Structures are given as structure tokens and as C-alpha cells.
Homo-oligomer: A and B are copies of this chain.
Amino acid sequence: MKALKELTATELGQLRQRVERELALQRANKLALDLSRGKPSPEQLDLSAELNEPLASLIANDGTDARNYGALRGIPEARALGGELMNVAADRVLAAGNSSLFLMYQVAATAMQRGLWADDRRWSRAAGPRMLAPVPGYDRHFTICESLGIEMLNVAMRDSGPDMDQAQRLAAEDASIKGIWCVPKYSNPTGCIYADETVAAMAELPRAAAADDFVVFWDNAYAVHDFEFPAAPLANLYDLAEAAGTAEHVALFSSTSKMTYASGGLGFCGGSDALLNALEGTLSLMCIGPDKVAQLRHARFLSGRIEEHMARHAAILKPKFAIVDQVLEEELGGLGIARWTQPKGGYFVSLTTPPRTAADIVKQAGEVGLKLTPAGATFPYGRDPNDDDIRIAPSFAPLNELEAAMRVLTGCVKLVAIAQLHRERPKGG
């Protein structure tokens, strides 16, 4: 296909009319398509039906009655499960309730207010504590920062992960920079896996930082969410951090939200004794213990068969990601107005459109009945400086709706790009 900018005014006009006709048809269908959030589909949720079966016993391996109070760090088998996901020993793990986001919030809040190392270091003592936010990234991380009064500073994302030269330079020159957000595997939303050198540099970052209370937030939400097996490897941050002497400055997170039930899963935090003690101290102020019955259910269901289970998810998700890629290629390939990622796992595809068009595209798609993640949401404060990033979340929609949704999206990309070209071309040119 010819690049859009090489088309004549007449050709552009014809293309616009064709796309407008197609979108008018879609609009007439009164669609309610939604590619906005990374929700598992009902078919995926059905894969965990066994969680609904009775537990043979409600007593944990160490004799703890899962039904009663206590065990703020979780029962041993749940901690072991978290260890499997985060690639650390079970005793490096706190297994909690249904939200790893909650644990991230509490670690950040603890870093701010109570301290992570049983000493007087507190982020809140800095005039304006800040965190590095590789962009595009995950909006819920940004919300945590905003709500705790932590400013954010963008760092560029590459295919190999955050630009570590930039991250190191920023952290080294400014002691108010206290941490960095990472989704190291199938990063939200680009889908990249951090390269070995990136992970190694990340383990060194707390030492390179000017702040002595720098923390790497390692949100490994998609640790085992591969589409192809054997699973893609990710370097072990905790081991590297131990070798680098920075183990007390990394906080690992993972969850089963997208392995079993998004609602009734388990969240995990992993790290040093100092980190786990501090987090447990904070949690002890507000709750007596996690839902250990849910922990028991999950440990018994997933232990020893994580990959087998995730392969079933892959069988559902991979065709959806294939459709996304296929429609993007069919509709936008060669037009020179968009590029997109082709993740081998995770929940998102990141679409890059011409500068200053993403918000328009998302708005127009909404008018045709397609809900997308709000433009800008993948950037701190909702501000995408280039206004060119759109996150596509294909997991929830059925295959046929997904294809229709992608036709709407690509149609809107074309229309907005044509309009932009039209505005930018010299009159009569």
C-alpha cells in the first residue's frame, strides 16, 4: 500500500469517503465495543473452575487453620506460589489478598511515611519526592504517586525496557528521585520484556542514585503470561540486586489476577526482610490477616502446574492478539501513519499514531461505539507529550467483536491522519 502522504488530494478524498462510509455502517450497528481495560474474558475465567470445588482440608501445611485470624505474611503454600511467580524463595514473600496494586500502594505509602528500613529515612522528608515513570506505562501506578504526593518524571521506554542511561543520569543527579516503576515482562502497554542488560542496570540503579532511599518497584504482573512456550525468560532482579548490594532497595510484586479470577485472586510482595517487615508493619495497622482460604484454594489449584494452566490462557489470548495485528497490518500497513507492538504475551498492544492525533482518534472511536483507554492514560498526569499513544486491550472482547472494534479503530486512525495531512498540506498543493 502507498504511504498516505504520497497520495494525491483526490486519492485522499476517495479514501476518506470510503472510510467514512464504513464507519457510518458501524455506527448504524449501535456497537458497544470495549478495548479499554485488561480484563480476562469469561472463557479465561472458566479455566479456573476448579477454584470453585470444595477444598479437601482447610488447614495449611504448617497447621494454620486457613479459616481463622492471623498470618499476615500468608500461609506457606501461598508464599511458595508467590515465590514461583517472582523467582524468589518463599520466605522472601508476603502473600496477601486480591490486589497487588494494594501492596504497591502500601509499600509506596510506607516509604513516604513510616520508612522501609527501620531507620529515619522517609521519602516525605524530601521537598518534592519523585519517581521515574517509564512511558508509556500503567495508569494505576501513576494514580498511586499522585495520591501520595509523589511527583513523576518520564523516562523513555525502548524495546529493551526503560532507557537506563536516562534513568541513571536522572537518579544520579537528583536526590529527590526516590524510585522507578517497572512492569518488566510484557510491559503495560508496550508488551516488551526487559533485556538482561536492562535488569542488570536496574539492580545497580539504587546504588547509582543520589537518594539513599531509592526503590525499584518491580510489578511483574505478567510474569507467566506467555503466549508461547517454553516461556520467555526474564533476568532475576532480586539475585542481581543481592549481588549488587541493593536487595533492600527492590520491591517485587505479582498476582494471580490474570491467572485465575481477576476479582478473587492473590497479590504478592517479595523482597528483603527489611521490606517485608516494614510492609507487614503497615498492614498490621489496618488488617488482621489475609483471606487464607483463598490462598489455600489458589496454592492447591496452581502449584506445580502454572505453565500448563497459562498455556490454556494462551490458547484463548494468542488468536486475539493475532487478529489485532492482522487488522492493523491490513488497514494501516504501509500507510506510514502508525506502528504497533507485537507482544508475545501479556495483555496489551501499544499503537503509535501520528503526533497530535491519539486523543482525536480515541474520541472519534467513542462516537462510533468503541471504548478505548483514554488517550494520555498511559502517561503521568494523563499527559502524553506527543499525543500519539493508544493502548489496545484485546483480552475481554469476543473474537468477532474484536475484529469489528479493530476496524473501527483503524478507520478512525485513517480519518484523523487524513484530516491532519489535509490541514498540513499547502493549500492547492
Contacts and interface: CB of A to CB of B under 8 A. Distances in A.
A102 B287 contact: yes
A6 interface: no
Contacts of A66: 261, 263-264
Contacts of A291: 97-98, 263-264, 291, 294
A115 to B, nearest CB: 13
Contacts of A37: 69
Nearest to A51: B293
B69 A286 contact: no
Interface string A101-127: 110011000000000000000000000
Given A285-B147, A288-B99, A263 B45 contact: no
A198 to B, nearest CB: 28
Contact of A285 (B54, B97, B144): B144
B65 A293 contact: no
A40 interface: yes
A170 interface: no
**This protein's copies in its complex:** 2
What size tier do the contact residues of chain A reach? 35 or more
A140 to B, nearest CB: 8
A236 interface: no
A299 to B, nearest CB: 14
A52 B294 CA distance: 11
A184 interface: no
13 contacts: A37-B69, A45-B58, A48-B67, A54-B54, A66-B264, A67-B263, A68-B262, A69-B263, A97-B97, A98-B291, A102-B287, A263-B289, A291-B291
